[in-house]
């Protein structure tokens, strides 16, 4: 049995100090991912720093943005009336993830830190560069149905499993973190990493840094949004492909589009070329189909996930149709 220390922190600085002292310590919030990984032996820790008593559970309306504390649960965030009215894409994405019980426990900060669901990552008998750097990638030679079609490397082809992260990417969230040297902000685009040569690193957070909040700038993207998640079961399953769409439409013309996909890359995948294409164009199925083809440029499938090359653009087109009102 792996023995570890348990510490409860009451304020952020003491939590950061506790973790900074021990490179193999972990913060514990909802524990919906970390505890599973510990039980399976995928993660071994020397110290858990319980951060559940830190004052990070508020949702605050600021003049230009909404600040969401890192310990706000997924349920509280998705059900918040202001979020439902002003950031409905976020509510839709969160409610597409996990189960009600898990959403009651899981936190915003934990969701950002969620590890991949690649089966080889969980199987201690198989090689996995993410779990044991340098050991190889079981998925590259094995079963790759759930894996990436964008931004993968020859070291790792895993995907980020979070639904919330896809909406945050589309909405240009900013992650607030705190460490021994003070506070800093990380744009969501720079928070999650592509695997490159170091797939063991999921994100750019430093080991001794704590996520304190996520900030969402107010935007005109509340009316025409949709989150479409395609999965093997209708609930409690990870996305094969998902699409987060937010459109600013005036008189039938798309003034601006925000598009992101999940289940396709090691990080939530923003579709900027397709966004540019749609800007100034009328709402039409033809334009949505062209945008989806542009979005797929650079996609590369592996042995078992060729179907994603069709599923991804189809999911995007349907999501665009739902967001714009062309379909219901
Ligand atoms: Fe590990 Fe990544 Fe390969 Fe999966 S895809 S086995 S997580 S290295």
For residue 139, give both structure tokens.
Answer: 């998925």
CA–CA gap between residue 238 and residue 218 (Å, rounded): 29
In a domain, 289, yes or no: yes
What CATH number does the domain containing 3 carry? 3.30.43
| Best probe residue, ligand 1, of 115, 121, 151 (max atoms within 8 Å of C-beta) | 121
Residue 182: predicted pLDDT: 95
CA–CA gap between residue 275 and residue 294 (Å, rounded): 9
In a domain, 312, yes or no: yes
3-state secondary structure of 226: strand
Residue 39: predicted pLDDT: 96
In a domain, 316, yes or no: yes
- Exposure b/e, 176-186, CB count within 10 A at least 16 = b: bbbbeeeeeeb
Residue 197: predicted pLDDT: 98
In a domain, 231, yes or no: yes
| Cβ 110 under 6 angstroms from ligand 1 | no
Residue 270: predicted pLDDT: 98
What CATH number does the domain containing 243 carry? 3.30.390.50
72, HSE (Cβ side, Cα atoms, 13 Å): 24
- Please name the helix (run of DSSP H) or strand (run of DSSP E) that holds residue 243, with its range, or none: strand 241-250
Please count the structural domains in the chain. 2
In a domain, 204, yes or no: no
In a domain, 178, yes or no: no
On whether the pTM is more than 0.85, the answer is: yes
For residue 55, give both structure tokens.
Answer: 């004052």
First-to-last CA distance in the chain? Answer: 53
Residue 118: predicted pLDDT: 98
In a domain, 302, yes or no: yes
CA–CA gap between residue 151 and residue 253 (Å, rounded): 32
Q: Work out the burial of residue 58: count CB atoms within 10 Å of its CB; fewer than 13 is exposed, 13-18 middle, 19 or more buried.
A: exposed
The two beta strands, 47-50 and 25-28, are: parallel
- Structural domain for 252, as ranges: 224-324
Residue 44: predicted pLDDT: 96
Residue 31 Rama label (left phi>0; alpha psi -120 to 50; beta): left
**In the chain, which residues have pLDDT < 50?**
none
- Among residues 17, 23, 237, the alpha carbon closest in space to that of 117 is found at 237
In a domain, 315, yes or no: yes
| Cβ 146 under 6 angstroms from ligand 1 | no
3-state secondary structure of 241: strand
pLDDT tens-digit readout, 286-297: 999 999 999 999
Whole-number Å distance, alpha carbon 154 to ligand 1 midpoint, is 10
């Amino acid at each position: 049995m792996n023995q570890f220390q348990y510490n409860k922190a009451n304020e952020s600085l003491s939590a950061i100090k506790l973790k900074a002292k021990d490179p193999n310590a972990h913060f514990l919030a909802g524990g919906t991912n970390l505890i599973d990984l510990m039980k399976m032996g995928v993660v071994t820790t020397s110290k858990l720093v319980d951060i559940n008593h830190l004052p990070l559970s508020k949702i605050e309306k600021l003049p230009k943005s909404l600040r969401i504390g890192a310990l706000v649960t997924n349920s509280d965030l998705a059900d918040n009336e202001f979020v439902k009215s002003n950031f409905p894409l976020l509510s839709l994405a969160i409610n597409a993830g996990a189960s009600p019980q898990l959403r009651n426990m899981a936190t915003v900060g934990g969701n950002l830190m969620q590890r991949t669901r690649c089966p080889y990552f969980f199987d201690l008998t198989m090689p996995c560069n993410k779990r044991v750097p340098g050991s190889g990638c079981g998925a590259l030679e094995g079963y790759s149905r759930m894996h990436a079609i964008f931004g993968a490397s020859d070291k790792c082809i895993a995907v980020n499993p979070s639904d919330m992260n896809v909406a945050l990417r589309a909405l240009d969230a900013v992650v607030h973190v705190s460490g021994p040297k003070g506070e800093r902000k990380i744009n969501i685009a720079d928070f999650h990493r592509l695997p490159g040569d170091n797939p063991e690193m999921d994100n750019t957070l430093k080991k001794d840094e704590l996520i304190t909040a996520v900030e969402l700038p107010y935007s005109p993207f509340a009316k025409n949004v949709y989150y479409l998640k395609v999965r093997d079961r209708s609930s409690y399953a990870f996305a094969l492909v998902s699409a987060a769409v937010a459109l600013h439409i005036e008189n039938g013309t798309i003034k601006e589009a925000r598009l992101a996909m999940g289940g396709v890359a090691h990080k939530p995948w923003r579709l900027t070329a397709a966004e540019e294409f749609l800007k100034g164009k009328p709402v039409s199925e033809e334009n949505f189909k062209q945008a989806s083809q542009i979005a797929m440029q650079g996609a590369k499938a592996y042995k078992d996930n060729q179907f994603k090359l069709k599923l991804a653009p189809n999911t995007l087109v349907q999501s665009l149709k739902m967001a714009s009102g062309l379909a219901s």
